[in-house]
Structure formats: C-alpha cells, structure tokens
C-alpha cells in the first residue's frame, strides 16, 4: 500500500484583519486537509491598516483551537508559494455569487500556471455572508463595536489603531 501523502492547502488573503468569516473557512478547511497554511499576502500595491507582522500575530492568536494550521506570509505568485510549501490545493472562501466571478478567474489563471494545484471553494456560513474586513474597519472607525465579527483581541487592536488617528 502506498503511504498517505499529507494533503496541504494554502489559504491566502490579506486578512486585514482576520474576521469570524475567515475563521469559519479555516475550520472547514481543517476537515478536508491534513495541514492548512494561512498565507498573509504581501502586496506592495495595497496599503493595509495592519503590518504583515501584526496580521500574522492576530491570526495566530485567533486559531489556537485548530491543529494542523500554521500562519506564514508571502509575496509573489501564489502558485509558486504553494509549490514551495508542497501544497496541492488553494482554499478560497466565497460569501456570495458576486465573489465567484473574480475567484473563478483567479482559479483558472492558477490552473494554467500549474494544473496540479487545485482551487477549492468553500462557502462561508450564511451568518458571515455579508462580512468583510472593510466593513469591520468602517464600523470601528465610526465608533461602533465589532466584537460579534472579530475575536476580542482583534477588536481591541482595531479600536486602538482606528480611533487614535
């Protein structure tokens, strides 16, 4: 019998900041894969609120309940990063039909670059289908509370960063 190859998936994103919607996708990915690498994308064309190090730290503190999950960061082509990590899949979360068009386009490009890496689409729980990091940041900046959308430590960091500007 052939030995079982560890199934590794990459869950890329900006995670600026991580939300309960992201955590829901991580939880679902853990059922499908032996190892999930949450890969914080470093994109010089974007200006995230939190530094790469802050985002990695917030994610690490948010996923302590999961085994087989690690946090990393990368820049450059996602497919090259996935090959470097010996991953066979890329996880993409979908909230609504509107997400699908852009995600499908990226999945097809990634397949063209390496057909051995499969994109796996996971639907978020319906209670998070409207949630994204931008909404959370806007809510906090306008004096609201996002405890129901992000872990408490993330909510605290958002308040510290957005309300002192």
> Is pTM, for the whole model, over 0.85?
yes
Does residue 154 form part of some domain? no
The residues assigned a catalytic role are 22, 46, 95, 133
Can you tell me the distance from the alpha carbon of 86 to that of 126, in angstroms, rounded to the nearest whole number? 32
Question: What does DSSP assign to residue 127?
Answer: G
Looking at residue 105, which CATH number applies to its domain? 3.40.50.620
Phi, psi of 94 (to 5 degrees): -120, 130
Does residue 153 form part of some domain? no
Query: pLDDT tens-digit profile of 80-138?
Result: 999 999 999 999 999 877 778 889 999 999 999 999 999 999 998 989 888 899 999 99
User: At 73, is the secondary structure helix, strand, or coil?
Assistant: strand
User: At 138, is the secondary structure helix, strand, or coil?
Assistant: helix
Does residue 26 form part of some domain? yes
Question: What does DSSP assign to residue 50?
Answer: S
Can you tell me the distance from the alpha carbon of 35 to that of 26, in angstroms, rounded to the nearest whole number? 11
* Arithmetic mean of pLDDT, 29-44: 94
Q: Which residue has the higher pLDDT, 52 or 46?
A: 52
Does residue 138 form part of some domain? no
Give the Å distances, CA to CA, from 15 to 62, 71, 156. 12, 11, 16
Does residue 157 form part of some domain? no
Does residue 14 form part of some domain? yes
Does residue 161 form part of some domain? no
Q: Share the mean pLDDT of the chain.
A: 92
Does residue 98 form part of some domain? yes
Q: How confident is the model at residue 2 (pLDDT cuts 50, 70, 90)?
A: low
Task: Write out the residue range of the structural domain in which residue 37 sits.
Answer: 8-126
The number of domains in the chain is 1
Supply the pLDDT for residue 44: 79
Q: How confident is the model at residue 3 (pLDDT cuts 50, 70, 90)?
A: low
Give the Å distances, CA to CA, from 62 to 27, 35, 96, 135. 11, 17, 24, 19
């Amino acid at each position: 019998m052939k030995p079982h190859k560890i199934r590794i998936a990459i869950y890329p994103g900006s995670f600026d900041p991580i939300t309960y919607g992201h955590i829901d996708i991580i939880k679902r990915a853990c059922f499908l894969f032996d190892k999930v690498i949450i890969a914080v994308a470093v994109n010089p064309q974007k200006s995230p609120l939190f530094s790469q190090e802050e985002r990695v730290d917030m994610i690490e503190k948010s996923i302590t309940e999961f085994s087989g999950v690690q946090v990393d960061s990368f820049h450059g082509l996602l497919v090259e990063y996935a090959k470097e990590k010996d991953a066979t899949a890329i996880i993409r979360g979908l909230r609504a039909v509107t997400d699908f068009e852009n995600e499908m386009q990226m999945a097809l490009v990634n397949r063209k670059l390496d057909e051995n890496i499969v994109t796996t689409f996971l639907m978020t729980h319906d209670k998070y289908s409207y949630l994204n990091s931008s909404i959370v940041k806007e809510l906090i900046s306008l004096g609201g509370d996002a405890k129901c959308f992000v872990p408490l430590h993330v909510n605290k960091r958002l308040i510290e960063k957005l309300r002192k500007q």
